[in-house]
Amino acid sequence: QVQLVESGGGFVEAGGSLRLSCLASGRSSSSISTMAMGWYRQVLGEPRELVAEISSGGNANYADSVKGRFTVSRGDAKRVNLQMNNLKSEDTAVYYCHANSGLDIHYWGKGTLVTVSV
């Protein structure tokens, strides 16, 4: 069992920045470090979409809409971060931390709300 807890969401004006962080617990650092981790977001009435993910080897990929503005990174062994720069109103959503184990078991955080105003 892995628990994921997001932090860092809030209100920001367009053009501003936020940094999201996700802390994993429930397993050892070595176990969590083997998992792919990342971020999804969801707007009410829309499907949940991938924002950014990073593999255990450090390879990252991003949604086209955030390329050049967002950066996903692994912090310590149990943390994944999402630096969001030049935020736009279209980035407003609930952001969910995600982890995928080697057993193809998926874990989700409860989400943190990001609201971007113009």
Q: Identify the band that residue 69 occupies on the pLDDT scale cut at 50, 70 and 90.
A: very high
What the block records as the tokens of 87 is 């935020």
pLDDT value at residue 1: 84
Torsion sign over Cα 49, 11, 99, 2: negative
pLDDT digits (tens, 9 = 90+) for 17-54: 999 999 999 999 999 999 999 999 999 999 999 999 99
Whole-number pLDDT of residue 68:
98
How far, CA to CA in Å, does 107 sit from each of 13, 25, 55, 88, 111? 31, 11, 15, 28, 12
Taking residues 91-115, what's their average pLDDT?
A: 94
112 forms beta bridges with 95
Indicate whether 103 pLDDT > 90: no
pLDDT of residue 116: 98
CA gap 49, 40 in Å, rounded: 5
SS3 19: strand
- Asked whether the predicted pLDDT for residue 102 surpasses 80, the reply is no
Kindly report the average pLDDT of the chain as a whole number: 95
